[in-house]
Amino acid sequence: MLQQLWRFRITLWPGLIVAVLLLGFAGVLFGTLYHEAGGIALFPINDRILSLLKFTLFQATLSTLLSLLLGLLLSWSLAHQPRFCCRGIVVALFGSSLVLPSLIVAFGIITVLGNHGWLNQLARLLTGHTFGSYVYGLSGILIAHVYLNASFASLGLLRAFESIPVEKYRLSASLGLSPWQRFRTLEWVAIHSTLPRIGITIFLLCFSSFAIVLLLGGSPAYNTLEVAIYEAVRIDFDLPAALQIAAIQLMISILLVLVASGMPQGLNNLKQSSRLVPWPETRKTALLQRSTILLLSVMYLLPLIAVVLDGLHADLAHLFSRPLFLRSMGMSLGIAAISAVLTVVFSLMLADARRHFGLPLRIVERGMGRLFGLLIAFSGNLYLAVPSLIMGLGFFLIARDMGGSMTSWGIVAILSANLLMSLPFALAIMIPAMEKTARRYDKLSFSLGLSPLQRWRYAEWPYLRRSIGYIAALSFSLSLGDLGVIALFGNQEITTLPWYLYQLMGSYRTTDAAGVALVLLVLVFGVFFAVQYGDNETKESHAAR
């Protein structure tokens, strides 16, 4: 074991050091929170906190179940309709849900489904009645969570469907299996192992949801633990209550992340081919699948169209002349660029270290090897265990105790939160890709005695560059639209586009808010889709040569 650790020291130790630093960083935050808690008793939990906990768990569970159900239906439909019109655009569109800022989603949903939204206006025009105010409270939270997370679930499950060999489909067709029998005996076997990890990830995202609950909760009765922490610090300045709530949330989150870290990574990069199944579905099944894709695509597009149309009615020229807006945009772009670079570097180091454990020609994953592998996996998923508001609370307390510029501490806190927010998704992409290159090139590279630099140049970079570009765009877009730590540190000196948008919405300046939402949407989508388009162009040019 020690000989193997020494043999791979150049590529193993950087990742282990990064993992230890990340865990140490989390330890400092925990220590600060524990020290500040002092004599605060976590138990017994008072009625208010118990009510917050029950609602947080309830909405997260319901959001997860609905997201998985819709995601499964959508992925099944997409997998069996390869000839659907603009299918590639549809898949890319649903893939963008991962980087959509929660504020934009909430803004678009309010425009479509709010009291004076499109749906109520149409109902009033046709029937003289409206559907009432259902976009706030539990229903609004569920709509926004399912909007974001069903798309995320569908892409993970679609990769599982596409990993099924064509030969198995041929066998099911020759046996005359119905669509339900085929799903139960063939497809469920391929996707059921993917569901728990996707489900836990969605649950944690909904459990620690902040911006959506803050905007669509509607009343304290629909607050979650995360929103309660924000209100305790920012509004009431009740640090003991904030610390007690944060400790409870941390215990639940860490337990779930430990479970998720021990699960295998998803089925990324295991797609068999872009083959067409050589027989059509039955007419009823095909109609169901096409209707599902069309209906969910329209439902996904409507809030985005609403943001665009409302934004075009804003006075964009006047908006771009405002110093606060320009300062917010400049700070957002700068922080997002730094976050993207850090995410790429950290994900490469962690993924390179993680793949050493369990591969045939490297370190056998047992005993200490299994422990090291779990350590790396857990460090990369810290954000799910330590949500941004709890991280912001820790930085707030450190800044208060150590002194110094609150603005500087705020920028460090935002960068840290953005990095940790992007790492779980980056590692979900990078680890399977690097493991695949290891299985493909290890024997050849070791036999030729290639140095790590030579191996990177000839074997790793050609295969990983598309994943690296995607991770950079993903991290940039996620950082650009995040409203988390900035909610605690935001002021006139440290401001970002999401914080500026939230302030405009809070002061009912909806026209200006629509303009900022449009700018933010264009920036996020522009970067995200530009990288994907550039990758496709590069791939096509290489294929032509």
Q: What is the CATH number of the domain that holds 189?
A: 1.10.3720.10
Q: What is the pLDDT of residue 533?
A: 58
Q: What is the pLDDT of residue 290?
A: 92
Greatest mean pLDDT among 209-213, 287-291, 377-381: 287-291
Segment 346-368 mean pLDDT = 71
Q: What is the pLDDT of residue 270?
A: 41
Q: What percent of the chain has pLDDT over 90?
A: 17
Amino acid at position 141, single letter: I
Segment 415-441 mean pLDDT = 84
| The pLDDT of residue 535 is above 60 | no
Q: What is the pLDDT of residue 150?
A: 92
Q: What is the pLDDT of residue 542?
A: 42
Q: Which two tokens stand for residue 541?
A: 């040019």
CA distance 271 to 191: 13
**Region class of 45: left (phi > 0), else alpha (psi between -120 and 50), else beta:** beta
**Could you tell me if residue 138 is inside a domain?**
yes
**Could you tell me if residue 101 is inside a domain?**
yes
DSSP 235: I
Q: What is the pLDDT of residue 67?
A: 94
CA distance 437 to 435: 5
Q: What is the pLDDT of residue 343?
A: 93
Of the listed ranges 54-58, 188-192, 347-351, 358-362, the least confidently predicted one is 358-362
**Could you tell me if residue 496 is inside a domain?**
no
Greatest mean pLDDT among 93-102, 369-378, 450-459: 93-102
Note the pTM of the prediction, 2 decimals.
0.81
Domain count, the chain: 1
CA distance 291 to 412: 47
Q: Which two tokens stand for residue 322?
A: 């405002």
DSSP 220: G
Q: Could you tell me the pLDDT band of residue 267, with boundaries at 50, 70 and 90?
A: very low
**Could you tell me if residue 242 is inside a domain?**
yes
First-to-last CA distance in the chain?
45
Q: What is the pLDDT of residue 8?
A: 56
CA distance 291 to 155: 18
Q: Which two tokens stand for residue 275?
A: 């083959």
**Mean pLDDT estimate for the chain:** 81
C-alpha pair distances (Å), 89 with each of 92, 94, 96, 415, 489: 5, 9, 11, 32, 38
| The pLDDT of residue 540 is above 50 | no
Quick one: CA dihedral 168, 170, 171, 173, positive or negative? positive
Omega cis (within 30) before 14: no
**Could you tell me if residue 330 is inside a domain?**
no
Task: Name the residue with higher pLDDT: 544 or 349.
Answer: 349
CA distance 96 to 91: 9
**Could you tell me if residue 282 is inside a domain?**
no
C-alpha pair distances (Å), 339 with each of 19, 382, 431, 532: 17, 16, 19, 19
Q: Identify which of 182, 178, 220, 110 has the alpha carbon closest to the alpha carbon of residue 517.
A: 110
Q: Identify which of 210, 145, 249, 252 has the alpha carbon closest to the alpha carbon of residue 487.
A: 210
Segment 468-482 mean pLDDT = 88
CB atoms within 10 A of CB 5: 16
| The pLDDT of residue 263 is above 70 | no
- The helix (H) or strand (E) run that includes residue 535 is helix 510-544
Task: Classify residue 141 as exposed, middle or buried by CB count within 10 Å of its CB (0-12, 13-18, 19+).
Answer: buried
Q: Which two tokens stand for residue 339?
A: 């976050």
Q: Which two tokens stand for residue 526?
A: 């522009």
- The helix (H) or strand (E) run that includes residue 419 is helix 406-448
CB atoms within 10 A of CB 220: 12
| The pLDDT of residue 201 is above 80 | yes
CA distance 164 to 273: 10
**Could you tell me if residue 125 is inside a domain?**
yes
| The pLDDT of residue 61 is above 90 | yes
DSSP 238: -
| Per-residue exposure over 55-91, b if at least 16 CB sit within 10 Å of its own CB, e if not | bbbebbebbbebbbebbbbbbbbbbbbeebeeeeebb
CA distance 161 to 455: 33
| The pLDDT of residue 153 is above 70 | yes
**Could you tell me if residue 407 is inside a domain?**
no
Q: What is the pLDDT of residue 278?
A: 56
In this structure, are residues 389 and 488 in contact, taking their beta carbons and an 8 Å threshold? yes
Q: What is the pLDDT of residue 306?
A: 92
CB atoms within 10 A of CB 166: 13
In this structure, are residues 207 and 253 in contact, taking their beta carbons and an 8 Å threshold? yes
| The pLDDT of residue 537 is above 50 | no
- Sequence-ordered list of residues with C-beta below 8 angstroms from that of 345, at least 6 positions apart, any chain: none
Segment 32-61 mean pLDDT = 78
Angle 186-188-192 from CA coordinates, rounded to 5°: 140
Domain that holds residue 114: 41-275
Question: What is the signed CA dihedral for 194, 390, 472, 101, rounded to 10 degrees?
Answer: 80
Greatest mean pLDDT among 75-89, 354-368, 383-397: 75-89
CA distance 344 to 347: 5
- Sequence-ordered list of residues with C-beta below 8 angstroms from that of 485, at least 6 positions apart, any chain: 388, 389, 391, 392, 395, 410, 413, 414, 416, 417
Q: Identify which of 312, 304, 300 has the alpha carbon closest to the alpha carbon of residue 108.
A: 304
CB atoms within 10 A of CB 263: 13
| The pLDDT of residue 4 is above 70 | no
